[in-house]
Amino acid sequence: MNQDHFNMEIRKYLKKVGITSQREITDLVTKAISEGKLTGNETLKAHANITLQDLGCTIEIDGEISLD
C-alpha cells in the first residue's frame, strides 16, 4: 500500500463529505429558521456515520452545532 496515496484519498473523501454535509446542513437550518421551526439561537445535536462497507465497519461521530 502506498501510504501517501492512501492518506490523500482519505483527505479527498473527507473533504467531499465535509463540503456536502455543510451545504445540506446550512440549507436545512436556513429553511427551518425561515419557517419558524428554529430561532437561530439553538445548539443542534448532530450524529454522523461513516461506513466502510468492504470492512463491515461503521464509525460514529457525535457533536453539537451552535447557531449563536
Model pLDDT, residue 47: 98
pTM: 0.87
CA distance 10 to 5: 9
Model pLDDT, residue 33: 98
Model pLDDT, residue 55: 98
DSSP 4-31: HHHHHHHHHHHHHHHHHHHHHHHHHHHH
The predicted-structure confidence for 18-68, as pLDDT tens digits, reads as follows: 999 999 999 999 999 999 999 999 999 999 999 999 999 999 999 999 999
Model pLDDT, residue 43: 99
| Residue given cell 473527507 in the structure block | 14
CA distance 24 to 22: 6
